[in-house]
């Protein structure tokens, strides 16, 4: 596929998406979000792509909304149209079957931070920053920042970040549980690719079921979530991969999962 604002490559069941507007600090304009949505929609239908890595070109992961587009929002209806157009892309990252790893190669601010929040795992380079500076513009995050951030870190820390609008560095992000790991800048992609390869070798039906059950279960009462977990467990007990995993364990060998 040919894109104007993103690059896409795939290898060994792993797809890598790179936000490619380095001259604009990978700001999220309408074209980028539209292309990203189209690509993710295609990936979501493919069983040969098991894991996705999302990163940015250059020194920024993503600086947030494109300020030129944001400046054209003059009325509540303008804002409504913008959110209705853009928010589905963030939701799609969260809802596609495949785990999505954010390889945060630099500042992830505003919408860029919200893009990270929608991913399943976040690996940060040492020069990464995370922030929701919208309050400094007299607004609030509009793509999930006020809702996903407090679900990932403590409510108190999330409120502090949102109230003050000041970014935190990668090590603070790790301390509060926002990122899984902090690595040197030159090791970021190799670490993410290693993790993606490890996940891609897991039994696929179990992998995508875990993502779905965790994401859906966190938003319902405990008893409903436990019932969802039980039904999913029962389903997976009928798969070929479950039988292969158990047999391999008994035979003390590496399992050969087929995704079935």
The catalytic site residues sit at 114, 134
How far apart are alpha carbons 80 and 190 in whole angstroms?
40
Ordered strands of the 6-11 beta sheet: 6-11, 14-19, 51-56, 100-104, 121-125, 181-183
Q: SS3 helix, strand, coil % of the chain, rounded to 5?
A: 50, 15, 30
Name, in order, each residue with C-beta under 8 angstroms of 57's C-beta and a sequence gap of 6 or more: 7, 18, 19, 20, 21, 22, 26
In the numeric block, which tokens belong to residue 71? 């400046």
């Amino acid at each position: 596929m040919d894109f104007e604002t993103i690059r896409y490559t795939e290898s060994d069941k792993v797809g890598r998406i790179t936000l490619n507007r380095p001259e604009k600090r990978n700001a999220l304009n309408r074209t980028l979000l539209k292309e990203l949505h189209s690509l993710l929609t295609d990936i979501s239908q493919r069983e040969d792509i098991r894991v996705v890595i999302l990163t940015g070109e250059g020194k920024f992961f993503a600086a947030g909304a494109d300020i030129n587009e944001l400046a054209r929002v003059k009325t509540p209806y303008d804002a409504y149209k913008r959110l209705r157009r853009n928010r589905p892309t963030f939701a799609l990252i969260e809802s596609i079957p495949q785990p999505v790893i954010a390889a945060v190669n630099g500042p992830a601010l505003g919408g860029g931070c919200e893009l990270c929040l929608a991913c399943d795992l976040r690996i940060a380079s040492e020069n990464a920053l995370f922030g929701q500076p919208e309050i400094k513009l007299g607004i609030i995050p509009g793509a999930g920042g006020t809702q996903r951030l407090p679900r990932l870190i403590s409510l108190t820390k999330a409120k502090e970040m949102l109230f003050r609008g000041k970014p935190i560095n990668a090590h603070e992000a790790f301390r509060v549980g926002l990122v899984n790991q902090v690595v040197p800048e030159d090791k970021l992609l190799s670490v993410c690719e290693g993790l993606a390869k490890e996940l891609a070798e897991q039994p696929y039906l179990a992998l995508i079921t875990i993502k779905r059950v965790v994401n859906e279960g966190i938003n319902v009462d405990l008893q409903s979530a436990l019932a969802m977990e039980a039904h999913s467990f029962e389903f997976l007990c009928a798969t070929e991969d479950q039988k292969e995993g158990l047999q391999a364990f008994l035979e003390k060998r590496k399992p050969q999962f087929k995704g079935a």
